[in-house]
């Protein structure tokens, strides 16, 4: 019979990688809780409309990259391609705004995008997200950026740089958009790539997301949102930068950073590391003050960021197989029952270990213990049972001695 294979772009996570995911997730929980964030778990499946209304109908995500299919009643459902839309929906649906003025959430979990699979980019990937609702204060921008920075510092990613920009607000953006439209009207849009030609009508700011070198040439001469900020936006941006300087964040202003989602305004940012190569963000986010209202909730300013774990995984050192405190070698049948009693006692006391599933040749069992990365081997047979002792072998120096069960715990502790 033909074995069944997994779906293209999906991956099996075996222990070598599961250890890394656990490390990244535990670190996120640890760091984010220090900044007053608590976890929110939202469904993987949502109504398609949620994403088309928030991310934007003419974005690459919505147009090309969503896992969308009808359910049995013909309703269109989508596997979440990102977390913010779902968290925003949950925030409104659970009326969290009526319970607290400021809300800070993080989510950890799989996201799904129908992209061409490549290294570090799978169709099911994993993200850590943080969202802060309820304040316009530039302090919130600085704080969430600080939290992101601390997270990456503590997982050991070096060469960090924050790229930051301001996209303006509903007050100053219309003026900017007009100027941009004028600039686009002044060029022959046939020279742009098909995507950009399209965007130049629907959402011209998205042109800045294009990686095509020819498009980029035109963009060099286009007006930038940063140069058209209203006084409120400029003030906000200056305060964010000031707070970032005070807390030692290494930032550079990137006036062309717009990010591919419709809902961003004011502050947007990306975190890069020179370890993954230029132009390659390991995290990014921004302010989305209009989103909650746009989804039918009350006017609620908000800011958030996301980071993909697979990109970070590429930067992590290999993590060694976890060490076992003990491996129980069973010298004969008599040792088996007593061995399981002893192993149970040791595990209850917090030691990690395995028991050999076969008796007989100590040599082959010791080889197995070595393979499993055990620090100490406990050898147990009829003889040991009779004089109420066990043999302990130190796997690093090979020393072996006979001890009582009581002494055993002390030896394993060291
Ligand atoms: Zn503004
Ligand atoms: Zn283009």
pLDDT at residue 202 in the model: 80
How many whole angstroms from 201 Cα to the centroid of ligand 2? 13
How many whole angstroms from 83 Cα to the centroid of ligand 2? 27
CATH 3.40.710.10 fits 324-413, yes or no: no
Q: Say yes or no to pLDDT of 110 above 80.
A: yes
How many whole angstroms from 388 Cα to the centroid of ligand 2? 78
Q: What angle do CA 262, 264, 269 make, to 5 degrees?
A: 125
| Mean pLDDT of the region 272-279 | 75
pLDDT in tens, 182-229: 998 888 888 888 888 888 888 888 888 888 888 888 888 899 999 999
Q: Say yes or no to pLDDT of 278 above 70.
A: no
How many whole angstroms from 257 Cα to the centroid of ligand 2? 15
How many whole angstroms from 226 Cα to the centroid of ligand 1? 10
In the structure, ligand 1 is a single-atom ion and the residues with CB under 5 Å from it are 168-169, 171-172, 230, 233
Q: Which fold has domain 15-172+229-313?
A: BirA Bifunctional Protein; domain 2 (3.30.930)
How many whole angstroms from 81 Cα to the centroid of ligand 1? 29
Label residue 16 by pLDDT band (50, 70, 90): confident
How many whole angstroms from 189 Cα to the centroid of ligand 2? 10
- Going from N- to C-terminal start, the domains of the chain cover 15-172+229-313, 324-413
Q: Which ligand is nearest to the CA of 169?
A: 1
pLDDT at residue 119 in the model: 72
How many whole angstroms from 51 Cα to the centroid of ligand 2? 23
pLDDT in tens, 312-334: 888 887 777 778 999 999 998 88
Label residue 102 by pLDDT band (50, 70, 90): very high
């Amino acid at each position: 019979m033909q074995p069944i294979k997994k779906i293209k772009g999906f991956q099996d996570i075996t222990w070598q990688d599961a250890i890394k995911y656990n490390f990244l997730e535990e670190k996120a929980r640890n760091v984010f809780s220090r900044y007053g964030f608590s976890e929110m778990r939202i469904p993987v499946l949502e109504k398609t409309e949620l994403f088309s209304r928030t991310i934007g109908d003419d974005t690459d995500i919505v147009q090309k990259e969503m896992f969308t299919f009808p359910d049995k009643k013909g309703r269109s459902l989508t596997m979440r391609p990102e977390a913010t839309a779902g968290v925003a929906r949950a925030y409104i649906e659970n009326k969290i705004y009526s319970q607290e003025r400021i809300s800070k959430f993080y989510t950890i979990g799989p996201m799904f995008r129908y992209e061409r699979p490549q290294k570090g980019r799978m169709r099911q990937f994993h993200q850590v997200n943080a969202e802060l609702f309820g304040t316009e204060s530039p302090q919130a921008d600085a704080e969430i950026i600080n939290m992101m920075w601390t997270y990456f510092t503590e997982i050991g990613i070096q060469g960090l740089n924050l790229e930051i920009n301001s996209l303006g607000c509903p007050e100053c953006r219309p003026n900017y958009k007009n100027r941009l439209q004028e600039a686009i009207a002044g060029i022959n849009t046939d020279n742009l790539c098909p995507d950009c030609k399209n965007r130049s009508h629907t959402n011209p700011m998205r042109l800045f997301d294009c990686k095509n070198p020819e498009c980029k040439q035109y963009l060099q001469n286009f007006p930038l949102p940063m140069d058209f900020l209203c006084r409120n936006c400029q003030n906000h941006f200056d305060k964010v930068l000031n707070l970032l300087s005070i807390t030692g964040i290494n930032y550079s202003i990137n006036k062309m950073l717009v990010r591919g989602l419709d809902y961003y305004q004011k502050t947007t940012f990306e975190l890069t590391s020179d370890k993954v190569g230029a132009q390659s963000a390991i995290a990014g986010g921004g302010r989305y003050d209009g989103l909650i209202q746009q989804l039918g909730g009350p006017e609620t300013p908000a800011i958030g960021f996301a980071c993909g774990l697979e990109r970070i995984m590429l930067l992590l050192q290999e993590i060694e197989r976890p060490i076992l405190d003990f491996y129980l070698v069973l010298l004969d049948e008599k040792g088996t029952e007593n061995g399981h009693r002893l192993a149970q006692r040791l595990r209850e006391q917090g030691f990690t270990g395995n028991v050999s599933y076969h008796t007989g040749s100590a040599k082959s069992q010791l080889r197995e213990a070595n393979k499993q990365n055990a620090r100490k081997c406990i050898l147990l047979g009829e003889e040991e049972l009779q004089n109420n002792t066990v043999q302990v072998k130190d796997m690093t120096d090979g020393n072996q001695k006979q001890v009582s069960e009581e002494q055993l715990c002390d030896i394993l502790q060291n």
